[in-house]
Amino acid sequence: MLYVVATPIGNLGDITLRARECLANCDFLIGEERRVASTLLKKIGLEQKEIYELNEHTRPDDMRELVELCASNKSVALISDCGTPGFQDPGPELIRQCRARGIEITTLPGASSLMAILSLASQPVKEFVFVGFLSAEKNARSLQIQELKSEKRSWVVMDTPYRLESLMQDLALALPKDRALLTLDLTQETEKIMEASLAELATRTKGVKAEFMLLKYSNPAPSAKK
């Protein structure tokens, strides 16, 4: 059986009781990086497990081995480096192959950076588009941003910490007056939550590197007092 287990996105206090129990009792653990998974177990006071990796370097033969592991009479827990597996990581392919084999799969929900930013919105978000990672290539990213300019719904983007500044500058050039919510290092001691125009957010993130997500509201909000 395969358990899809959400882990904290920063603050270890966000581990759920079910997640901790599952990680304590599972026979095997599948994580993106063996070192990260091992560190998590240590930090939450659990004994080390046999850990298998599932990431962008996983080969077809490796995937078949993971599926066979899930098909055995053992319990297998799937985690990502942080947050909910399957969300912007290679987890879906394992789930697809396990489901095709009739392997039982269940989820242990918990921390999610997407749900976290939506919960902090000051405007109703009745529907939204999750864009995820924009292209790292500048011209391709510019085309994607031009397409987002015509999107009437709210949308959410994220990226690696070292691209925060450049992405915010690009968004500010395209949509300077549009209002957005930006979260940095959610649930960590360095957490920052900012809501302002994209132009102002770009100014406030110059030289900044942090884990981030950005929610661009569907309609520009009235100017707020500084």
Half-sphere exposure of 24 (CA within 13 A, CB side): 11
Total domain count, the chain = 2
Interval 27-66: pLDDT, tens: 999 999 999 999 999 999 999 999 999 999 999 999 999 9
Does residue 101 fall inside a structural domain? yes
Interval 142-169: pLDDT, tens: 999 999 999 999 999 999 999 999 999 9
**Range of the structural domain that residue 92 is part of:** 2-108
- 93 with 119, same domain: the answer is no
Pairing of strands 212-216, 154-159: antiparallel
Of the pLDDT bands very low, low, confident and very high (cuts 50, 70, 90), residue 1 is very high
Check residue 149 and give its pLDDT. 93
Other beta carbons less than 10 A from residue 126's beta carbon = 8
Check residue 224 and give its pLDDT. 47
- 212 with 145, same domain: the answer is yes
The amino acid at residue 176 is P
Instruction: Please enumerate in sequence order all residues whose Cβ is within 8 A of that of 25, keeping only pairs 6 or more positions apart, or say none.
Output: 75
Residue 109 has pLDDT above 80, yes or no: yes
Average pLDDT estimate for 99-127:
95
Average pLDDT estimate for 160-181:
96
Residue 221 has pLDDT above 80, yes or no: no
Does residue 206 fall inside a structural domain? yes
- 81 with 153, same domain: the answer is no
Residue 98 has pLDDT above 70, yes or no: yes
User: What end-to-end distance do the CA atoms of the chain give, in Å?
Assistant: 53
Q: How far apart are CA 85 and CA 6, in angstroms?
A: 6
- 170 with 92, same domain: the answer is no
Average pLDDT score, the chain = 94
Average pLDDT estimate for 171-196:
97
Supply 165's token pair.
């500044």
Check residue 133 and give its pLDDT. 93
Interval 68-96: pLDDT, tens: 999 998 999 999 999 999 877 888 999 99
Residue 220 has pLDDT above 70, yes or no: no
Pairing of strands 128-133, 2-5: unpaired
Angle between helix 91-100 and helix 60-71 axes, rounded to 10 deg: 50
Check residue 179 and give its pLDDT. 96
- 151 with 98, same domain: the answer is no
State how far the alpha carbon of 190 is from the alpha carbons of 119, 150, 167, 185, in Å.
Answer: 19, 34, 20, 6
Q: How far apart are CA 102 and CA 71, in angstroms?
A: 9
- 63 with 15, same domain: the answer is yes
Check residue 225 and give its pLDDT. 46
Burial 60-98, CB ≥16 within 10 A → b, else e: eeeeeebbebbbeeeebbbbbbbbbbbbebbbeebbebb
CATH of the domain at 155: 3.30.950.10
